[in-house]
Amino acid sequence: MQFPFPTQRITCVAVPVSALKSTHSCGIGEFADLVPFAEFCKKSALSMIQLLPVNDTGTESSPYSALSAFALHPLYLSIRDIPEGAPYHHDIGEIKNRFESLPRFDYRGLRLAKMDLLRRIFDDNEKSILKDPALQDWIIKNPWICEYAVFMNLKHRFCEASWKQWDKMRTPSHGEIQDRWNSPKRKADHLFYAWLQMRLDEQFSKAVSQCAALGIAIKGDIPILMNEDSCDAWANPEFFRDDLRAGSPPDDMNQLGQNWGFPIYNWDNLRDTGFSWWKERLSVASRYYHAYRIDHILGFFRIWSIPSGNSTGYLGWTTPHEAITTPELHGLGFSGDRLRWITEPHIPTSAIEAVNHFDYLGSHGLLSKVCNRIGNEELWLFKPTITGERDIEKANLPQPVIEALLYAWKDRLLQETGRDDKGRALYSPIWNWKDTSAWKSLSSEEKESMGALFERKKAEGEQLWEAQALEILGELTRSCDMLPCAEDLGSIPQCVPSVLSQLGILSLKVVRWERIWELEGQPLRDLGSYPSLSVAASSVHDSSTLRMWWDSEGGREAFYAAYGSEGFTQDYCESTASAVLERIAQAGSRIVSIPLQDFLALSSDTTAQNPNDERINIPGTVSPFNWTWRLPLNLESLIKNHHLTQAIAAICAAHQKESATGGKS
């Protein structure tokens, strides 16, 4: 769908569908709840609702761990509103009584309850559903459903285990998947999932249409990566690199980097199809969204790629990258043992003795299980069978020895990333190369020549990243009418702002992280300097709320230093919330996006007593808490809160005015 506000400055509210609560909903927000929420937005002068991803994630509560790039999540279906739902009001009521009053929704319990009821409804109405011509028409228009239905039926039969653990159909051809879809004896099993997706599509489309009629646009969220255990990775393995996992390099918050466990894309194979899979993904999304957030857009430039045998993100490299060749290293004087010294970890016996009670012979015995000794030296190399951190973790060794070996595994200057057409190794420096034993052992001249080589390769890599992003993102953004918005947080390559500007993609400016990092105290940037082609956000789903940042994480001091203290109080009360949000609304960005929790702080009636309760996700943790936040009151009550709607309208009015310095494009 086309974005209805091509030039206006608008204010957006960010909220997961799951967080909505109405007298109509059943334990979790449903697509139908978007309509009363849009009524609240209209009263508040808001123009757009920004959602988290709404794809089916199976047993995982994280919306960024989808089982399908196309299928919607069954939890968001309003069962009472489907044509077959009328006789089941008592069953729906029982689910509502069990789950609706919980402070955060019970993802797994609710999913089981709703799916059990939906299967029973389908079974009771199977004959009429299978004869429904509307279902057959919907399947023809949505060919992706065949792979998804076959995948989900198999997953159901294998008790939801990963497809890599199935005893059959682990690596089917496209023809085998189609044959299974066409199997008469499995027809009902497969059409259950098609019927379910048709009903979800109907309800979501209807809700979006009603929101649009109220003047409210919808912004979706498209995760760049797919779960390893997804229908897409199973049915289309040619589009993925199963030997590499995506993540992020080490930083101050994550000293071992991050390994997200998702396979990276095989862009060469996708390119051969004209990026058809991605274009179809955006085409389906454009049924529901006027704008879309491209999650981790940096991955279209370059992705941090980690060998699948590693459990952390420490030993990765950017894909694509300009590799260091074996002849180049020979030219710098590194061949034979010297080349091995900088490309392979060398473990001194003393490192293991230090964690093994200084038992010399015992340490030799332990090392020999996973390493080969270098002649008579007290140095060891990992055996060729050790291909990653997981092999070390699984070795039958004392934990302190495993930890020492894991540390040693990371201690290398260069790591092999592939082979050239003559079979010679290609290399990339590890992220923290200056901390390695090999680097510290080099002479000043060797450090100078090696450092210059690294810098040259990095500059050449920037050119690769720019070319790749222009090609792929250019193809994708031209394939639909939705307004593209980037999530471009993290370590940003120099070419990113230029590429986004050329393609008309809005960048993301999270106020607390928009700082002048090179100045003392790292002050917040002037909000008026934010480019027009951007989205300014007070918080995001992975951060604390504005209130928590202000009270507990230095936000108050940062604001005072950048903008003065007038109008703000020490504690984050209603008046301070209003003053802070009105200040943020002066950003030069075309769109200001405020999470609903930050708006709720404008009224004491809607503010949680404990600010921790308002978090959506705590990155780096896995618990039932994450992704299960719900509104503290229902939408019907929210609409009647005139104090809140008027306070939000004032924020929106402040943003519609030109910023003091004017937005920069």
Q: Quick one: pLDDT band at residue 113, thresholds 50, 70, 90?
A: very high
Calpha distance 406→398 (Å, rounded): 12
| Class (C level, CATH) for 10-235 | alpha beta
Regarding beta strands 10-14 and 591-595, do their DSSP bridges make them parallel or antiparallel, or are they unpaired?
parallel
Q: How far apart are CA 429 and CA 257, in angstroms?
A: 15
Q: Report yes or no: 84 and 125 within 8 Å, Cβ to Cβ.
A: yes
pLDDT at 621: 87
Is the separation of the CB atoms in 648 and 613 below 8 Å? no
- Over residues 551-556, mean pLDDT: 93
pLDDT at 310: 97
Stretch 279-303: mean pLDDT, rounded? 97
pLDDT per residue over 345-361, tens digit each? Answer: 999 999 999 999 999 99
- So what's the pLDDT on residue 227? 94
- Distance separating alpha carbons of residues 467 and 458, to the nearest angstrom: 14
**Residue 158, pLDDT score:** 97
Say how far apart CA 415 and CA 565 lie, in whole Å.
51
- pLDDT, average across residues 449-461: 96
| For range 174-185, the mean pLDDT | 97
pLDDT-based confidence at residue 662 (cuts at 50, 70, 90): very low
Measuring CA to CA, which residue among 478, 139, 136, 503 is closest to residue 283? Answer: 478
Contact 46, 602 (CB under 8 A): no
pLDDT (0 to 100) of residue 661: 42
In Å, what is the CA distance from 385 to each residue of 382, 388, 389, 391?
A: 8, 9, 12, 8
Does the structure show a pLDDT above 80 at 567? no
Q: Work out the burial of residue 303: count CB atoms within 10 Å of its CB; fewer than 13 is exposed, 13-18 middle, 19 or more buried.
A: buried
For residues 214-234, average pLDDT: 97
pLDDT number for residue 67: 96
Interval 401-424: pLDDT, tens: 999 999 999 999 999 999 999 999
Mean pLDDT of 186-201: 98
Decide which of 251 and 409 is more confident.
409
User: Which pLDDT value is given to residue 428?
Assistant: 98
pLDDT of residue 490: 82
**Listed residue (515, 534, 533, 535) closest to 525, CA to CA:** 515
Q: pLDDT tens digit string along 15-47? A: 999 999 999 999 999 999 999 999 999 999 999
The whole-number average pLDDT for the span 273-302 is: 97
Determine the pLDDT at residue 262: 95
Two structure tokens written together for 119: 């299967």
Share of the chain above pLDDT 70, in %: 99
Per-residue pLDDT at 296 = 93
Tens of pLDDT, residue by residue over 309-325, are: 999 999 999 999 999 99
pLDDT band for position 565 (50/70/90)?
A: confident
271 pLDDT above the threshold of 90: yes
The amino acid at 491 = S
Q: Model confidence over 472-504: pLDDT tens digits?
A: 999 999 999 999 999 999 888 999 999 999 999
Residue pair 27/73 in contact (Cβ under 8 Å)? The answer is no
| Predicted pLDDT at 658 | 56
Distance CA 547, CA 492 (A): 28
| Residue 665's pLDDT band (cuts 50, 70, 90) | very low
Which residues, other chains included, contact 45 with Cβ-Cβ below 8 Å and sequence gap of 6+? 11, 648, 649, 652, 653
- Residues 420-454 have pLDDT tens digits of 999 999 999 999 999 999 999 999 999 999 999 99
pTM of the predicted model as reported, rounded to 2 decimal places: 0.94
**Structural contact between residues 221 and 158, judged by C-beta atoms closer than 8 angstroms:** no
> Looking at the predicted structure, is the pLDDT value of residue 657 above 90?
no
Mean pLDDT across 48-61: 97
The span from the CA of 488 to the CA of 371, in Å, is 42
Residue 425: its pLDDT value, please? Answer: 97
Alpha-carbon distance of 317 to 244, in angstroms, equals 10
In the chain, where the domains are located: 10-235, 320-461, 509-656
Query: Residue range 173-193: average pLDDT?
Result: 97
Residue 664 has pLDDT above 70, yes or no: no
Q: Which residue, chain included where needed, has tokens 């089981």?
A: 112
